[in-house]
Amino acid sequence: MKKNIKYFLCCILAFTSFLSGAQQTNKNIHPDIIIDSLLHFLNATNQDSAKVRTLNLLSRKYIRTSNYEPAMQCALKAEQMAVKNDNKQGMALAYNNIGTIYNNQGNYKKALNMHLKALKIMEEINDSTGIANSYVSVGIIYHYQQNYPKAMELYLKSLIIYERINDKTGIANFYNNAGIIYDYQSNYSKALDQYFKSLKIYKEIGDEDGIATAHNNIGYLFMKQGNDQKALYNYLKATEISEKNGNKQGSAVYYNNIGQVYTKQGKFEESFHYLNQALILSIETQSKDDIKEAYSALSELYNKKGDFKKAYEYHKLYSEIKDSLLNEQSGKQIAEMDAKYDSEKKEKDIELLTKDKALQQADINKQKFIRNGFIGGLLLALFLTIILYNRFVIKQKLNTILKNTNKELIQKNALIEKQKEKIIDSITYAQLIQQSILIEESEIQKYLPDSAIYYQSKDIVSGDFYWFSKIENKIIIAAIDCTGHGVPGAFMSMIGNTLLNQIVNEKHITTPSEILRLLNIGIYEALHQEKEETLSRDGMDIALCCIDHDNNQLEYAGAQNPLYVVSGNELVVVKADRQTIGGGGMISKKENPLKRNYTNHVIPIKKGLTVYLFSDGYMDQFRGSDRKKFGIQKFKELIVENQHLNMQKQKELFAATHEEWKGKAQQIDDILIIGIRL
């Protein structure tokens, strides 16, 4: 057991360091290496569903940053593994990711095929969120093909589902997509209203990509209405977010829009800078639609500058790529450009011939003027040169001092920023790994239909986690609170998850008190806490239940964390043992932690009986107004007063109550509440 835990920890450290280091130091590392390393690591979990889920999450991450080659490889591997294991939800998510990649690259036929395959599967497994997301994906394709009635029909279907399940992200996306359609139909007031609704929700839920998209659409509307300042403000807001998140495709769109505003204002240098950047990023992401828009904008820029040759060249490129996307001909526009360019060329030839004669006469007069003014000009130039040279020397000295100072500051800031990005990337990948070990809530609800899990981490990764298994016709479920939160807590959660898998799934031990006894021993051995001189004092609090429907009883054992049992409107607290799991060293010479035992409680199951397992994060939260804790009593009252609600509604109530109580205060700890009605 000790050897397995050490190997598991080494895998986590090696994998997170490899991913973050590889991406920071070598942008050209082949995605196969990253994906194969991820699969090699996940083989330790023996959970194919976790592998599929992780690959799909990784594919979505690459899509958000417009890295379509690794995104496609992750999605294809996820699809292959999901098909092999008949994992329908994994297959649908993979098809959606593949469809999104094709859509972003302008291959609408393949994109539509993939999204329809995903929709069919989502309807088979009755996944409401998946069905709504597929409606949106198919609607976007009809949208790009300018079939607005069909697109709006699908968007409205998705809205009905999003409102029913209270999916705020989906609702915000609907307002954004509806605004675009109203914009194309020149209903600007309604479009602006939809965009601001979407922006408000995106800000509430902290969706940065959504905030950027809403700002961009608002900016585009203002630009069409002639309000260049408001347009630029919103475009720059969108650009700031996309650059921070590394979203190349988003940046390409926003740069293009900024460039068009500057073209309109006659600021050609600024316009060229942004439009050229837009074209470079569009080529990198292989987005034909964005390349097309960049060519069109560059053609308009050079046309306004009067450089009809370059305007013609870019318009020709624009027409060619437009033909490949929509099979629409632009021959008339090209011919007009060609004629305009030829006309301009002929006019310049005539002008040169006329000027040549005038120059011959002007040259004679010029020679006389130069001869007479040469001597006076030479003396004046000498005097000015002495003055300017003296000022130049002084200015160079000052510039050298400022340059050295600025260079030092820039280098220090760049180093700090690079270190910060590396740390955040490592923790983000650690979050991906931690999420992959958690069983989906929908999977648990197959065995416990009226159940819900409210899980809210304080940081990117969490020290709280839940664990679930079905073995020997018994259901084992636990809520675990590891020492600390963030990265230290997350490492402890990975150890706890592995030990529970070994105790329950491999050794088939289902008695809660015995599971806790072996878990305690496992923590001590893994972290060498049996030694008095050990530095590790890490451990975990836990509430663990075994639900035995055959014998119509529930068994519970707890370390620090109690179990709440509610029958009717009466709440009974089943107390936990005071001994924690692990903890390190010999707390007292009279007690050997390796021989620690835990109490096993047996509770008869009655119809309508509800139980709650939880960590202490919810009760310990401070109120924003007066720093008062929420407390155990308020938590009990909240549970009892809302027993008439099903568990999903209670979960929503827990979340809303927490947000209202917290206000503007920071969340102080990880939160985990599991509610089950038997």
User: Mind giving me the DSSP string for 511-570?
Assistant: -HHHHHHHHHHHHHHHTTTTSTT-----EEEEEEEEEETTTTEEEEEEEB--EEEEETTE
Average pLDDT over residues 40-45: 56
- With 50 as the cut, is the pLDDT of residue 337 above it? no
- What pLDDT digit, counting tens, does each position of 537-582 carry? 778 999 999 999 999 999 999 999 999 999 988 999 999 999 899 8
Cα 240 from Cα 250, distance rounded (Å): 11
- What pLDDT digit, counting tens, does each position of 383-415 carry? 677 777 777 777 777 777 777 777 777 887 777
Q: Which amino acid is at 428?
A: T
- What pLDDT digit, counting tens, does each position of 98-133 carry? 999 998 888 888 888 998 999 999 889 888 888 988
Structural domain boundaries enclosing 97: 10-127
- With 80 as the cut, is the pLDDT of residue 44 above it? no
Q: Is residue 521 part of a domain?
A: yes
Say which DSSP state 671 is in.
E
Highest-confidence segment of 36-45, 342-351, 370-379 = 370-379
Residue 664: pLDDT band (50, 70, 90) is confident
Cα 178 from Cα 271, distance rounded (Å): 30
Residue 285: pLDDT band (50, 70, 90) is confident
**pLDDT reported for residue 416:** 76
Q: Is residue 123 part of a domain?
A: yes
Average pLDDT over residues 489-498: 86
The 3-state DSSP class for residue 328 equals coil
DSSP lists the bridge partners of residue 548 as 553
Q: Is residue 489 part of a domain?
A: yes
- Cα dihedral 636, 638, 643, 647 sign: negative
- With 80 as the cut, is the pLDDT of residue 314 above it? yes
Residue 501: pLDDT band (50, 70, 90) is very high
**pLDDT reported for residue 17:** 40
Residue 7: pLDDT band (50, 70, 90) is very low
- What pLDDT digit, counting tens, does each position of 208-218 carry? 889 999 999 99
Alpha helices (H) in 438-485, listed in sequence order = 441-444
Separation in Å, CA 248 to CA 62, 240, 277, 467, 543? 11, 12, 10, 38, 46
The domain boundary, picked from 92, 111, 127, lies at: 127
Q: Is residue 391 part of a domain?
A: no
448: left (phi over 0), alpha (psi -120 to 50) or beta: beta
**Closest to 515 (Cα-Cα) out of 540, 493, 544:** 544
**Is residue 520 within 8 Å of residue 593, measured between CB atoms?**
yes
**Closest to 610 (Cα-Cα) out of 644, 567, 552, 578:** 567
Cα 529 from Cα 594, distance rounded (Å): 10
Q: What's the pTM value of the predicted model, to 2 decimals? A: 0.46
* Residue 56, domain CATH: 1.25.40.10
**pLDDT reported for residue 372:** 60
The domain boundary, picked from 104, 127, 150, lies at: 127
Side-chain half-sphere exposure of 165, counting CA atoms within 13 A: 14
Identify the residue with better confidence: 530 or 88. Answer: 88
Q: Is residue 491 part of a domain?
A: yes
**Is residue 538 within 8 Å of residue 488, measured between CB atoms?**
yes
Q: Considering only 1-15, 22-36, 194-208, 646-660, which range has the smallest mean pLDDT?
A: 1-15
Q: What angle do CA 419, 31, 275 make, to 5 degrees?
A: 70
- What pLDDT digit, counting tens, does each position of 450-467 carry? 999 999 988 878 889 999
Cα 42 from Cα 36, distance rounded (Å): 10
- Cα dihedral 555, 559, 560, 561 sign: negative
The tally of domains found in the chain comes to 2
Cα 114 from Cα 668, distance rounded (Å): 43
Helix (H) or strand (E) holding 294: helix 288-305
Cα 425 from Cα 321, distance rounded (Å): 37
Cα 542 from Cα 538, distance rounded (Å): 14
Q: Is residue 263 part of a domain?
A: no
Phi, psi of 226 (to 5 degrees): 85, 5
**Is residue 638 within 8 Å of residue 618, measured between CB atoms?**
no
The domain boundary, picked from 79, 108, 127, lies at: 127
**pLDDT reported for residue 604:** 95
Identify the residue with better confidence: 428 or 665. Answer: 665
Identify the residue with better confidence: 59 or 393. Answer: 59
**pLDDT reported for residue 612:** 98
Side-chain half-sphere exposure of 187, counting CA atoms within 13 A: 11
Alpha helices (H) in 47-187, listed in sequence order = 48-64, 68-84, 88-104, 108-124, 128-144, 148-165, 168-184
**pLDDT reported for residue 211:** 92
**Is residue 314 within 8 Å of residue 300, measured between CB atoms?**
no
Cα 489 from Cα 494, distance rounded (Å): 9
The 3-state DSSP class for residue 452 equals strand
- With 90 as the cut, is the pLDDT of residue 328 above it? no
Q: Which amino acid is at 513?
A: S
Q: Is residue 425 part of a domain?
A: no
Separation in Å, CA 367 to CA 308, 360, 362, 523? 37, 11, 9, 98
- With 80 as the cut, is the pLDDT of residue 4 above it? no
Identify the residue with better confidence: 604 or 485. Answer: 604
Average pLDDT over residues 60-73: 86
- What pLDDT digit, counting tens, does each position of 154-188 carry? 889 989 999 999 999 999 999 999 998 888 888 88
Cα 211 from Cα 39, distance rounded (Å): 34
Determine the distance from the C-alpha atom of residue 543 to the mean position of all C-alpha atoms in its chain, rounded to a whole number: 32
Determine the distance from the C-alpha atom of residue 503 to the mean position of all C-alpha atoms in its chain, rounded to a whole number: 35
- 657 token code pair: 């109550």
- Count the neighbouring beta carbons within 10 Å of the beta carbon of residue 332: 8
* Residue 529, domain CATH: 3.60.40.10
Identify the residue with better confidence: 385 or 345. Answer: 385
Residue 15: pLDDT band (50, 70, 90) is very low
**Closest to 437 (Cα-Cα) out of 80, 35, 53, 94:** 53
- What pLDDT digit, counting tens, does each position of 616-649 carry? 999 999 998 888 999 999 999 999 999 999 999 9
Residue 534: pLDDT band (50, 70, 90) is low
- The overall average pLDDT reported for the chain is 81
Percent of the chain with pLDDT over 70: 81
- Count the neighbouring beta carbons within 10 Å of the beta carbon of residue 427: 17
- Count the neighbouring beta carbons within 10 Å of the beta carbon of residue 98: 24
DSSP lists the bridge partners of residue 466 as 479
Q: Considering only 6-15, 286-295, 519-528, 602-611, which range has the smallest mean pLDDT?
A: 6-15
**Closest to 221 (Cα-Cα) out of 235, 210, 211:** 235
Cα 646 from Cα 278, distance rounded (Å): 51
Identify the residue with better confidence: 32 or 558. Answer: 558
Residue 12: pLDDT band (50, 70, 90) is very low
Side-chain half-sphere exposure of 109, counting CA atoms within 13 A: 3
Whole-number CA gyration radius for the chain: 33
Q: Is residue 383 part of a domain?
A: no
